Amino acid sequence: MHVVPELDYDDKDAFYRELAGQARALVAGEPDAVANAANVAALVFHALPRINWAGFYFLTGGELVVGPFQGRPACVRIPLGRGVCGTAAAEKRSIVVDDVDAFAGHIACDAASRSEVVVPLVDGAGRVLGVLDVDSPELRRFDEHDAAGLAAVSRAWSDARDAAAR
């Protein structure tokens, strides 16, 4: 059993270093990408304060399909290039949204979500595999430190997937 210790979010750099280390420990030696995504989503959901959704969408047949997550039921399919998740995947870049109502084309899966951060999942060859999506009921909840920290956490999943494919 993996225990998620209380982490000090006030020092975001240290928080995300520790969270990424925990994610790496969780996925170490496990070849199943879905199992690893489930554990990473649970880790993020329980470690990151003031969020209401954390999970994965995987690129399948030109659209994002919901994967393992923690939170209320989610949109199942998101077209590539649409909404925050589809835009992050299509543009292969992290996106921080202070107010989802102000994001043109936002897809509302949970009406309680007010801000969002999405980081693309990229394999060792540079291909986008999907996204890690985290939502909060607070406006302006996330910043670039969160995007960079969650990118490090998502790399733990991507690296484990790449290692299993070798």
Identify the pLDDT of residue 40.
98
- Tell me whether residue 11 is exposed, middle or buried, using C-beta atoms within 10 angstroms of its C-beta: 0 to 12, 13 to 18, 19 or more: exposed
- pTM for this prediction: 0.94
CATH class of domain segment(s) 12-165:
alpha beta
Residue ranges covered by each domain of the chain:
12-165
Identify the pLDDT of residue 5.
61
Identify the pLDDT of residue 80.
95
The tens place of each residue's pLDDT in the chain, 166 residues long, gives 565 567 788 899 999 999 999 999 999 999 999 999 999 999 999 999 999 999 999 999 999 999 999 999 999 999 999 999 999 999 999 999 999 989 887 777 778 899 999 999 998 889 999 999 999 999 999 999 999 999 999 999 999 988 888 7
Identify the pLDDT of residue 2.
62
Query: Strand order of the sheet with strand 63-71?
Result: 77-79, 63-71, 53-60, 128-136, 115-122, 95-97
Question: Which residues lie across from 132 on neighbouring strands?
Answer: 56, 119
